[in-house]
Each structure stands twice: as structure tokens, then as C-alpha cells.
Chains A and B, each alone.
Chain A
Amino acid sequence: MTKINTVNDLENLRNKILEDREKFRATLVICGGTGCQASRAGGVIDEIKKELDNHGLNESVCLRTTGCHGFCEQGPLIVIEPDNLFYCHVTPDDVHEIITKTILNNEIVERLLYTDPVSGNLIKTESEIPFYKAQDRQILTQNRQVDPCSIEDYIAIGGYTALGKTLFEMSPESVVQEIMDSELRGRGGGGFPTGLKWAECREAPGDEKYVICNADEGDPGAYMDRCVLEGNPHLVLEGMLIGAWAIGASQGHIYVRNEYPLAVDNIRVAVQQARESGLLGDGILGSKFSFDVEISRGGGAFVCGESTALMASLEGKVGEPKPKDVHTVIDGLWHKPTTLNNVETWANVPAIMKNGSSAFAAKGSKGSKGTKILALTGCIKNTGLVEVEMGTPIKNIVFDIGGGANNEKPVKAVQTGGPSGGCLPVEKFDLPVDFDELYDAGSMIGSGGMVVMDEETCMVDVAKYFLTFLQDESCGKCVPCRIGVSRMLEIVTDITEGRGKLEQINLLEELGDTLSHTALCGLGKTAANPVLSTLRYFREEYEIHIEEKKCPAGVCQELITYAIDPESCTFCGLCKKACPHNAITGEKKQAHEIDLGLCIKCGICRSECKFESIIIN
């Protein structure tokens, strides 16, 4: 590893790397993120290495394994630079053709191209794909450009130059001012002005200060931080270095969820490489600034995403939040001033220092500047990670980027902000992705999870789901959250099982209000949001469950029955064979029937039936 002792060393190294790469006529970029690994990208990578060897192409074709590109359902993905030809659903068997036809002969393998589900056309390059075209990928583009385990890749795209500029051309106070001017707000869900947080921490009395990167992304359905930390760990490190210098810290902590093993591995490699090149340690880039980080793994507790609980966990204790009458920027980790920021917040910092705060603030809406990475999932055609300018209307994201509903059932709602957020109906899709506007509407951006729901999603069941999650994850210390969430769950469960009473809706609202005012931490305070927002916009669904004891979406098991449609049944007998409770009877050439007394609605018959003959009443 080349030692980088000065800003000049950095610049020289960057030029050398770029020079060395001029010999490559093409670069094969393959996504190695967790999603594509689940789709067996590992096999494709091995095959590519073999083929490049066999054809003697190792000196002229560069193979780059990157982090997550975001278009996970199309994986394994390959992008071939410099034209950015885009191949999807690549299998190891396709590799030979890719090398011989595309690399050696410049021919396109048409069957590997992306087919636009809306127009039916084949699309050649990544930038023409509607999914990517409608985005503003300030941070995510870099995921395609770097191998997370290569500090050289990061340096080649200009990495660590922002750090150099900060250390030698600015004062710590002016760095804080720059972040304040950019109006960057926390990307982890709180939306607190980052500049203000840094200013307060800088002012706080004490010589020993800490910076923490919160990578305990616990919102179910959100994986933005995994993607950034896994795919571009040096970007986060650079952000932390700049922040630490600005507030006066010399020690940092990165707290990663244990459920993200690849992210843990990659950040460890990145830290090791940064230390070896002298970018972490003493006298960074020849300045008087010293800084190092420690990596800690979460223990599997959503509540540890809360800042005081995270700090308790770093101190080796149970993750119980503490009252925040004194802010953690003054009394934080080990009772020292601590700046805790989310992964995406740190990832935004280098660009602000490099390009200036006005460039950052030029994007976005009045109260929310810059871009936001969202995890777009659920019942739509194009699922994956997207990055959009703040202020983009939700409907653009769901329909232009997401491509609309993934089966014939129309989109019904979108859930944003995870368990602290809420559900917004289609009528509200004109609302922009904006901290304050979504908050006023009863939801929030949160960390960026956006789950699209269609008519087969029961909103009461969604409320039950989130309450079950929160009951599981509550630390249990304070009465309103521990007992209140459990009682709300009891009531909502009664409603989904046909025992609900109308006055319980008022009780839910009152209990929700009590929680929001009296719970000790953010988890408890926002625990009622999923219930309250579904009550606000989908009250009729609750009323139908209570008054008619029916579930319109066909989800709540106590209120539905399965039946076989005699018109479409082809008597194939697959369902009968698969039913684990022998609830299906029927002879050959006869429409089969389900015995409702034995049926437990496990759903196996529906997944086996190829003719969609099993319907829900």
C-alpha cells in the first residue's frame, strides 16, 4: 500500500492510477452487493475470471466487482464501460458469450439486455433505462465506479481530495459554517440540521470528543445504508474525517448491524487500507490532525438505532435509551461531547466540501436540500434503491421510476419512514419527498424506506405488523411503550380477528397521543404513527373489519375463507397433494373442494396452483 503523506502524494497517486488504467480497453463492472449475491452473482464472477484468463485478457480488460447498484431485482448485473452497456439477469452460462461477442467483437448479446416493462423495448445503456433516468444519483453513481475493497478506485474518482482541501484551505469553524449553509439535514430519520449539531458539539466544553457513524439501519424494508457502507465505505470514512476535524474529535466509532455481514467486512477492509496508507492515524496528509475509528457490531436490536441506546451499546451495556434532557452533543459517549450521524449524512459531506454548500443547496425544496436515497420496494415492477432530488413528488417515484403496480391490482398506498412513519393513500401521491410536508401529512421520510402497497394489502394488518415489530423491539424500560404498544396490538389484533368494537378506535387514538407525549425515546414516541396514519386515511377499512367482520383485502386469516373456483379448476390435483392438512378433496376429472373445517389458510395450495383457481372470500 502506497503511503500518502501529503496532498501532493495523493494527487500524484491519483494520476498514476489513472495512467495505469489507460491500458484497459474495457471495464467489466459486476454488482457484488448482497442482493446480487443472493441471485448467485458469485458464480458469474468466478466464470468471468476464468474466461478472462483463458483469453489472455487480464492486461486489457479490467474486472471490477462493486457494491450494490440498486436495481436488485434485475441482478446479477453487468455494466461494460466505457459505453455503459447494461446486461441483466446474467448467469454463469452467459459469460462465455459476453467475453467472446461483446468484449472481443463489440457485438451486443440481445437476450441479456433490459426490457422496459412498460414499452416492451430493449434498452442498451444504463442511462437510458427509465429506472435510472428518472433518478439523480449523486451518491449512488459512485457505487458503480468503485470496488469497495480498493482504496485505489476511490482515489481514482477523486476520493480524499475534499479532505485535503478541508485540512489545508479551511478552518474548523468555516467547515461547520459550510455544512450549516448547505442546510444538510440528518438522513437517518430525525432530519435535524447537521450543521447545527456540529456547531453545538464544537462549542461543547471538553478536550475529548467523539464522532459516531450510525449504521444500525433497523427499519424493515430499508437498505440504503447497507448499500452505501457496503459499496463505498471510503466515502463514509472521508465524511467522518472531515466532521471529526471540524468538531475537534480524534476518535470515531462505526456501529454496524450484525445482520449486514458484507458491510462489516467491507468497512473493516477499508479502515485497514486507510490506516496503511496513512489516511487514518497520526499526522493525516501531513497536517497536525490525528484520527482513527473502531468498528463495532450491533447485537440485533432495532432500538440501538436510537442515539443514546447506541452509545450504551458501545459502552458494552444493554441498549436502553436514556432521557435526553441534556443533548448527546454535550453529554454523549462516555459522557463526552459526541456527534452521531447516519451513514448517508456522512456520505453527503465530502461533496459539500468539494463543490461548495451552494451547489448542494441548489437542489431540493425549501426545507429539504440535496438528494435522498430511498429503498423502493413492495408491489411495483421496478424495485430497488433509488436516489432522487428532495422535493420529487411521490407519484414520480412510484410510477416513473417504480413502473407502477406489479400485477393487475392497482396501487393503494405507500408506507414511508418505517415503523415511525405512516401510510399515505394514492390521493396524496402529489406530496413531495420533503421532511416537513410528509410530517404534516402524518408520515415522514424516516430513513428512506418506501413500501408500495396494492389492493391485496390490508391496512389494519399493516398496523398490526408494525405494532408487532415494535413490541418485539421495544427495550421495555418505560411504561407507555412497553405496556401501551402491547395494548394497542391487543386492540388491533381483536379488530383483525372479528372482535373489535367501534369505541376502540377512539382508545387507539388516545393511547397513540399519550405515547407520543410520554414515551422515553423516539421509538415509543412514534410507535403509534402506523396506526394513527392508517386510521386517518383508511378508517373505512377498520370500520368494515369491526362492523361487518370482513377483510376487504383478503388478508386477515380469521375473516377469510379459501375456496376453489369450479370454473377454472383443471383437476390437476397439485393442491390436494401439497395440502399439509389434507383439507382438499376431489377425484380425477372433478373440481376439487376445500374443507373449511380443516383449512388453516396457510397458502400453500395457492402457491402451487398454476391456474389461479384458489380464491379468497
Chain B
Amino acid sequence: MQKKILGWSFFLTTLCLVSPCLAQEVQDPVVVEIVAERFVFTPSRVTVSQGSTIEFRLKSEDTSHGFLIVGTDIDVIIPKRRQGEAKVTFVADTPGSFRFECSKLCGAGHHFMRGTIEVSSTVTNKASKPDTDVGSQQ
């Protein structure tokens, strides 16, 4: 019985010590701030490793825009200038190229508003700084 209690105590102690690290690795997302403005997203290209979780923080410099990642169910409205930001999380679990674009008709050049998320096949288990065309605003 004592051995069982000792065994359980050791297991639980180990779990308590290790779990914050596990939690940190899983939960810490990579933060990418994107500014939307007729008719551009800045940055418009984000590169991360497979396994990363990206938290997009989306702001507008003018009207409200949409942020749609094609092929996913992510489609949010970015509020108008000075009216806050939208946050959306994208789990980069599949390598490849993912297009994002404005999904709310915003003017004559609406279809110019696009960008790309490049997910490289290098698997990562921790949050790492993404590469962006113009420097991420971590």
C-alpha cells in the first residue's frame, strides 16, 4: 500500500512539475499583428513552422474589412478604425500555403486585399517568431 501511495505521489508530483511546461508549449501562440487598409494587408505574407499556433490581431486603418483564410472556417470582421481589433487563432498543423483575403466588399480594389500564410514542414513544438515580409509586430 505504501509503495502504491509513494508511486502515485511521485507520479502526481512529476505531473505537476512538467505540466506547466507542456501547457506553455501548447498554449503560447505566435502573435502576428496585421493592419488592414483599402486595399492591402500589412504584412501580407506570414511564414511559420508546422505545429505553430498563430494568434492574428487584426486592426483597420479605415473601414471594416473581412479576414478570411481560404479553405478554413476562419472568417471574421475587422472593426473600423479606432473601434478595436479582431483576434483569431489559426493552427498551422498542415504544411502548405494558405491564402487570406478580405471577405467584405470594401471598395474598387477589394480583390487586391490578399495575403499568404506559408506553413513550412519543419515541425516545431514551441512558439517561435514568424517570418513576415515586413517584420512581425510581436
Q: Is the A/B pair a real complex?
A: no
